[in-house]
Structure 1
Amino acid sequence: MEREQGPTLTHVVVLSFPIQGHINPMLQFSKRLASKGLKVTLLSTNSIVKSMEGQASSVTIEPIADDSGEYPTVETMEAYTERFKVMFSHSLEDLIERNKSIGYATKLVVYDSILPWALEVAKQHGVGGAPFITQSCTIAAIFYHLFQGRITLPLQVSEVSLPSLPLLRIDDMPSFISQPDLYPLLLRLCVDQFHNFHEVNWVFCSSFDKLEEEVVSWISSQWPIKNIGPTIPSMYLDKRLKDDKNYDLSLFKPNVDACMKWLDLKETGTVVYVSFGSLAALGVEQMEEVALGLKRSNKYFLWVVRETETKKLPTNFIEETTERGLVVTWCPQLEVLSHKAIGCFVTHCGWNSTLEALSLGVPLVAMPQWTDQTTNSKFVMDVWKIGIRVKVDDKGMVTREEIELCINEVMGEKREEMKRHAIKWKKLAIEALDEGGSSDKNIDEFVEKITHT
């Protein structure tokens, strides 16, 4: 149950990197903190704040001062983060003074872990800091090993053995490590996040203890990890947060009615849901293979193809598949995944999508593209056993035959086994955030500590 605001009047600032996959889990954590009696302010850019107007009433959403509205790209990341740092410093100082005048003490900045400079900025203003990891504990551990020098790049071995983790092939490793020359700046961001972890009292992670037990145990010996997930709206988990039905942020307009009305007409477990998230862009040839794989599977399918990607679809594909398929530019993913008609999810295995599928008991066909998705796919198939990872050919392509094969396995001969594992993880995800669960206790302990210091 939500607790009324306590007498401590404690204020926490939350700072995320301004992309949807980072804001959503941090906003969900903010809602949890607000439900425990803290005053929480999420700082973000003007463009993000405008898209969230009228949402997340339990959390104050404020724009960062002097924001140009520019959206960061891989190429502009370094310059953007430098300017973001200056803007944040001014906004934090203003926020602290304003809250002090109305009786709130700003105690802590919870910051996106890839923005480690936020800790120094917070300290300059007399406030503590705690990093928030938006990926899995496993990914954090792998990059921490690289930070510590236990992994040497470029990799000279075919398999990597690390404490508390299964044996990882090179193509199981995060792509920034397996292909370090492709995105050197992003690799540096992932490694540099750890340089001041020894100065903090809490490191929050968007996961839950039983999902990654061994690696959580190992990480706990290195820094003060606190899992607080799954970071998805309460309605789909413990249902204890009133009106918490969605993320309150979508940079794309979902086709809600079209999706849900179409799904309502389908029988239980008969639809393949396909989405590669808000960032991944498939090549024209790969898009054609996915399209023809779906066609060959002879299953109903709901495919999210962002507006910028629709031109890559094969000619007349939509017209030729109207009886079995629906292609939309965006959809309400949580509503879709929780619908009885969904039989499996063909996904890039971004961490948020993976957590959503785990939390809602949906088997996966894993088709990773880059960054942490390859490692998440390894765990989906070999550790959590809730899906199949596609195989790529010698050109790095996933063929139509492979897509058809994987869909038919997950929806056919392996269906019962994978559904059984998926339901197990769904129950454990709900248990983690329910009253007295591991994530709920971690949040309670943090709130108790922060309000009495």
Structure 2
Amino acid sequence: MEKQKNGYKAHCLVLSYPTQGHINPMLQFSKRLDNKGVRVTLVTTFSISKTIHKEATSIALDTISDGYDDGGIEQAESIQAYLDSFWRVGSQTLTQLLEKFSSSGSPVDCIVYDAFLPWALDVAKKFGLIGAVFFTMSCAVDNILYQVHKGALKLPLSESEILLPGLPPLEREDMPSFISDFGSYPAFFDMVVQQFSNIDKADWVLCNTFYELEQEVVDWMAKIWPLRTIGPTIPSMFLDGRIKDDKVYGFSIFNPSTDACMKWLDDRPKGSVVYVSFGSMAVLEVEQMEELAWGLRMSNNYFLWVVRASEEVKLPKNFMEETAEKGLVVHWCPQLEVLTHKTVGCFVTHCGWNSTLEALSFGVPMVAVPQWTDQSTNAKYIMDVWKMGLKAPADEKGFVRREAVEYCLKEIMEGERGKEIKKNALKWKKLAVEAVEEGGSSDINIEEFVAKLVS
């Protein structure tokens, strides 16, 4: 309390895994802490910091090394080599960063670290700091991975129906891809399971969700750890409006075609546009890109499709020219502004957790086309638990065919099921806003966290 009397702000380092999907929620959480009077420094790798475009944010950015300062994971000999290097070099350079802040008269009080980087907790404890683990995936997915970690869920899967505490009955296809397709991406599998290696030593367990969204599994996990839900971590002006001018996440790896997108949307009828995006990392097969393209065309809806520059070559020949009257294809877009635009009536998504939370928070119905990692579980919840979208069925090759795309879009945009889905979507939108408003479940949890931090 003496620190507070002297006008001291607690100093919190927020350490993110170096991808856009992890930086965004952790940066947004940083803004919430900053708004409550805590000094925050967001930390990521030197390699990713060179590609970041800084937008309007007051949060300071600092860096540590992953051992591959020129190119990050792309420079590494293998995924495993990268993760091993990040653990070793990251621990050393995080230690140096903490020493730098201590000697400069602004010592760190707490490290909030990405769950993918459990070694950061060991560094925090070496310095006697508060350590808070931050999960960027849903509590449902975290629980599944925890059950694997503790040996309660045996792999490879042998049961057709999987029953886990706090979760609805799940089938193999509803599980994270590292589990349903056991043996795929072994280095990433080890990383997501190792999130729980030292979690019992963490002072706080923070999850980017909100209580009303995953009540049963949150209640179950809160019996084991000091768990708090602190989401949805979305810029304030799109939810509660309490943080002035907070309209963007703040650090972007991609340059959006903002003017072109918004001008195009402004010229379409209300609720008439299908927005399509598979995030910053998903890589689709050529055959899947073609099926999506023709499904969009067959549905006869207006569409705005984000196709990263590296993926554009996979589009059918002359597709953009032939669909120019109905569609716009861009390399990147301001997703928050697009999802909240009155002309957008549906979101075709890979079901990354950030995209899922954004659509939930803005009341936008979804067509789920999951690709890997946690996305199949998110798709299950979108369709069967939250009932605010449809999961597009895939064939025996794992591809969603054009007929399935057309069917799902017509159901949501025009069909009877679409009416119920839209009704549910509005319900979740209301609950998301209430969660972050003053006195809402997420706001209370952040208040509690800050109170302990500055005491």
- The TM-score with structure 1 as length reference comes to 0.95
Mark the CA change 1:402 to 1:54 in structure 2 (over 3 Å): closer, same or farther.
closer
CA contact (8 A) 1:35 1:58 kept: no
CA distance in 2, matches of 1:54, 1:184: 34
- How far off its partner does 1:31 sit? 0.8
- How far the C-alpha of 1:228 sits from its partner, in A, is 0.5
Offset from partner CA, 1:96-153 (integer Å, 9 cap, x none): 3443355434111111111111111222233231111000000001111111211111
1:79 alignment partner, SS class: helix
Runs of 4+ in structure 1 off by over 6 angstroms are none
What is the CA distance between 1:314 and its match in structure 2? 0.6
1:240-251 counterparts in 2 under 5 A?
240-251=242-253
Task: Note if contact 1:45-1:69 (Cα within 8 Å) is conserved in structure 2.
Answer: no
Which blocks of at least 5 consecutive residues in structure 2 are unaligned?
none
Contact 1:51 1:249 (8 Å CA) reproduced: no
Deviation at 1:205?
0.7
**Quick one: which amino acid aligns to residue 263 of structure 1?**
L
Q: Match for residue 239 of structure 1?
A: 241
Is the 2:9–2:38 Cα contact (8 Å) retained in structure 1? yes
Report matched runs for 1:305-316 at 5 Å: 305-316=307-318
Q: Are residues 1:49 and 2:49 paired?
A: yes
1:439 aligned residue = 442
Distance (Å, rounded) in 2 between the aligned partners of 1:60 and 1:94: 17
Counterpart-to-counterpart distance in 2, 1:368 and 1:57: 32
* Structure 1 range deviating more: 241-250 or 270-279: 241-250
Q: Which residue of 2 aligns with 1:301?
A: 303
Q: Check whether the contact 2:54–2:251 (CA below 8 A) recurs between aligned residues.
A: no
In structure 2, how many angstroms separate the alpha carbons of the residues matched to 1:6 and 1:403? Answer: 61
Give 2:395's match in structure 1, choosing from 393, 396, 406: 393
The equivalent of 1:68 in structure 2 is 69
| Partner deviation per Cα, 1:77-97 (whole Å, 9 max, x = no partner) | 332233333443344344434
RMSD, matched Cα: 1.8
- Residue 447 of structure 1 and its aligned partner are, at CA, apart by 0.6
Determine if contact 1:273/1:303 at 8 Å carries over to the other structure: yes
Identity of aligned residues (%): 55
Which letter does structure 2 place at the counterpart of 1:69?
D
Q: Residue 420 of structure 2 corresponds to which residue in structure 1?
A: 417
CA offsets 1:366-406 (integer angstroms, 9 cap, x no match): 00001100000000000000000011112222111110000
Check conservation: 2:289, 2:314, Cα contact below 8 A.
Answer: yes
Question: Is the partner of 1:153 in helix, strand or coil?
Answer: coil
1:18/1:44 contact within 8 Å kept = yes
TM-score by length of 2: 0.95
Is the contact between residue 67 and residue 87 of structure 1 (CA under 8 Å) also seen in structure 2?
no
Alignment of 1:1-400 (within 5 A): 7-52=7-52, 54-55=54-55, 57-64=57-64, 68-72=69-73, 76-101=78-103, 103-400=105-402
Count of matched residue pairs: 449
Amino acid at match of 1:281: V
Give the drift of 1:55.
Answer: 3.7
Paired residue secondary structure (1:72): helix
> Larger deviation: 184-193 or 347-356?
184-193
Q: How far is 1:49 from its partner? A: 3.0
- Return the alpha-carbon distance in structure 1 between the equivalents of residues 266 and 12 of structure 2: 42
Which structure 1 segments of 5+ residues have no match? none
